[in-house]
Structure 1
Amino acid sequence: SLVSSCLCNICFFACMTQCFFPSTFTVDVLLKAVGDTPIMKTKKWAVDRGRTVQSLAQFISRFLKLDANEQLFIYVHQSFAPSPDQEVGVLFDCFGSDGKLVLHYCKSQAWG
């Protein structure tokens, strides 16, 4: 039928788009430590565009095995801290360059 044919075409297009254009769903994020904050051995990560800054901070805290009472601050361009509910994809669109978004993380307030 026409409806099932259209749905199959839509599913096919969605699968092909995800396979051949994965950057539409994820962005490359380069994470850099500041000050005495532990350095992550893996610095470049593919992050879902819809992931929030808060969830990224929680991921980094767990990855570094920080104590629950330790805060983690995230900065864009070593100048400002984005809102915790800001999506990584929007930050990439506004402040990304050379195909990646550079974020700095630290355990104490550093900028802005």
Structure 2
Amino acid sequence: MERGSSKHSPRVDEQMSQEVRGAVQGITEGRAEEWKMAEPAGEDQPAPTGISNGSENPLTRFGRYIGLSALPGDRDALRRSAEVLTAPDDVLADLDRLPDGVVYQTVTEIWAALGRDPA
């Protein structure tokens, strides 16, 4: 006995299985169609919260240029990571001030080693 839908023809069954294949196999946006996608904010809408307005925390700004793959790491590993992440000159200069041979576990440890206030 062949298993299949008793409500649809084999052609319709195949078409329906193709439509849900992305969701079943875990492919992102497999069923998303353009008309189902969210529209961007309009001109009268406030800016999204993820955009920096220049008033961010200095520790957050510094930490943005320390890649997670560099931690735990010493001064040289942190410097290489910051260069890959196109860190500004002031961040690179701060990393150059760190003592050689010390391994840092977190960005907060690096910040404290630079003598900066964590708050």
TM-score by length of 1: 0.28
The structure that is helix-richer by fraction is: 2
Greater gyration radius: 2
TM-score by length of 2: 0.27
Higher relative contact order, chain-length normalized (CA < 8 Å, sep 6+): 1
